[in-house]
Amino acid sequence: MNDFAKMQLIEAYHSQQLDATQQSQFDELYLNDIEFAKQVEDFKPIFEGFEMLHLEAFEKQIQSWEIANQLNPQVNQPQLVAHKGGLWRKLMVYVAAAAILIAAPIFYWNSQLTENEQFAHFFDPNTMAVMIPAVRAGGLTPAKELEKKALEAYVRKDFAVALPLLQEYSNVHKDSVRIVKSMKLYIGISQLGLNKPAESIASLKDFLSFNEETISDYRQEAEWMLALAYHRNGQKDEALDLLQQIAQQPNNEYSSNAQKMYGMLNQK
């Protein structure tokens, strides 16, 4: 596939207009072509800029000129061609330049972040998915009360309180492999939030080694947090490898952030 066809796919993706065939082509490229995946993320602020500048009508007009020109090149209308240097591309460059004026502060801001600020920007545990035990008639058992307190502290992101409670709850259920392993995610994230990356790495890897179906929905977050823990622990190569894997998964909710962080680390 040539570069122009790839750009058409990227534009259709960002405008949410991929048909089934294009979606298949896009997924294949995104998974196997790291440069294409990077371009998808690099052009995101440009297409967002189009929307912010209300240039959809102008874009459609350009596309209509191009289509008309392809169908009937003899008609007296702007000769918009797709090859390098064509008027269509020049017009798109002018529009993109305007959009970049909007996007530039975003790139500048990212480049000015310190390592701690980068970590704080990306470290955002998904507390919405945490299932806190509900109080029923007759109250909670001591173990359930302990779990409730631990998870409430975790949801508040009060990791200093949550971590020992989570560890205590795991110890209470030390004979249950499922409970011990499932708690490793929250323990690992709490450890990372308390700047204990080496301990976090061990906990998150332990969680990811558990293959039970009930925790499969949490694996994406665990992998993302593990990449952050590698970065926090100074293990750049491990972080880059895992970030690249995440970035190449178009259906991964952390794919976009992985692309951004990969670019930041690769510049150092």
Q: What is the mean pLDDT of the chain?
A: 79
Whether residue 113 contacts residue 101, with contact meaning beta carbons closer than 8 Å, is answered with: no
Confidence band for 67, pLDDT divided at 50, 70 and 90: low
What is the three-state SS of 62-94? Answer: HHHHHHHHHHCCCCCCCCCCCCCCCHHHHHHHH
Q: Write down the domain spans for the chain.
A: 3-112, 120-266
More confident residue, 142 or 4: 142
Residue identified by tokens 């390098």 is 84
The per-residue pLDDT for range 26-46, each reduced to its tens digit, is 888 887 888 888 788 777 766
Q: What is the pLDDT of residue 183?
A: 93
Write down the pLDDT at residue 92.
55
Q: Taken in order 166, 170, 172, 173, is the CA torsion positive or negative?
A: positive
What is the pLDDT, as a whole number, of residue 72?
A: 57
The per-residue pLDDT for range 6-31, each reduced to its tens digit, is 888 888 887 778 888 888 888 888 87
Query: pTM above the 0.85 mark?
Result: no
The CB density around residue 232, as the number of other CB atoms within 10 Å, is 20
Q: Give the model's pLDDT for residue 236.
A: 92
Fold of 120-266: 1.25.40
Residues in the chain: 268
Query: H or E element: which one contains 203?
Result: helix 197-208
Residue corresponding to tokens 């090859």:
83
Segments of the chain assigned E as strands: none
pLDDT(230) > 80? yes
Distance CA 27, CA 37 (A): 10
| Among candidate residues 248, 121, 38, 168, the one with its CA nearest the CA of residue 223 | 248
Q: Which residue has the higher pLDDT, 40 or 248?
A: 248
Tell me the mean pLDDT in the region 60-86: 50
pLDDT digit string, tens, across residues 165-186: 999 999 999 999 888 988 999 9
Which of 18, 1, 7 is CA-nearest to residue 86? Answer: 7
Q: How far lies 110's CA from each of 25, 178, 188, in Å?
A: 31, 40, 26
